[in-house]
Chain A
Amino acid sequence: KAGVTQTPRYLIKTRGQQVTLSCSPISGHRSVSWYQQTPGQGLQFLFEYFSETQRNKGNFPGRFSGRQFSNSRSEMNVSTLELGDSALYLCASSSGGRAGETQYFGPGTRLLVL
């Protein structure tokens, strides 16, 4: 089985722009979670999608949004980029997103905001 894939791998944007990141989960997995990793804060949960619905959301501003398509692929969007949004964005998939399920991570998208 192919693993979780994320595109693009690297991205450079300037303040005020917006960005869209893409994630393709493991085949058969219906839950996709997004995380932000920064040196100071570690991995922080952004949101989780299951069957095209956002089921859970972390403590991030509304500039961060996402969606999931019928084939379980997911995108996240960050609008009005700020310098502090520079981070590694990781997506993870699991079969149902329930407690007790292992999440499998993609390689991440490294976003640099100048």
Chain B
Amino acid sequence: DQQVKQNSPSLSVQEGRISILNCDYTNSMFDYFLWYKKYPAEGPTFLISISSIKDKNEDGRFTVFLNKSAKHLSLHIVPSQPGDSAVYFCAASGRYGGSQGNLIFGKGTKLSVKP
């Protein structure tokens, strides 16, 4: 049973517009969420994170929003650039038994930003 879901396998956006990537989770024990970007043949690169005590975190062009009641988070990229084209993974962790060092990942959304 997937605890972290990214329901859109792919997303295509025009350069300069906003990209919105979505993620849903089922485990209410999760209290820390991260977004990673991955290019082919490379490891995931950390982008931005958010703690469950916040509902928004911003870093440059990247903003993550968390809606705890809906168990939903989203990553906004504004403005989108062709170099943002990659697979984006949502990940979660929590303070429960068996959680040490274990990030639970969604299956990723492939973002294509067209010039």
Residues of A bordering B, CB below 8 Å: 4, 6, 31-33, 35, 42-45, 48-50, 55-56, 58, 90, 92, 94, 97-100, 102-108, 110
Interface size class of B (residues with CB under 8 A): 20 to 34
Say yes or no: B32 contacts A100, CB within 8 Å: yes
Which of B44, B94, B100, B106 has a CB less than 8 Å from the CB of A90? B44
Q: How far is the CB of A9 from chain B (nearest CB, A)?
A: 9
Given A42-B107, A99-B94, A100-B31, A48-B102 contact (CB < 8 Å): yes
Given A99-B32, A100-B31, A100-B93, A107-B103 contact (CB < 8 Å): no
Stretch of B10-18, B45-53, B61-69, B71-79 lying at the A interface: B45-53
Which of B31, B44, B100 has a CB less than 8 Å from the CB of A50? B100
Q: List 26 A-B contacts (CB under 8 A).
A: A31-B101, A42-B89, A42-B105, A42-B106, A43-B105, A44-B105, A45-B101, A45-B104, A48-B102, A50-B101, A55-B100, A56-B100, A56-B101, A58-B102, A92-B43, A92-B103, A94-B101, A99-B31, A99-B32, A99-B93, A99-B94, A99-B99, A103-B34, A103-B46, A108-B42, A108-B43
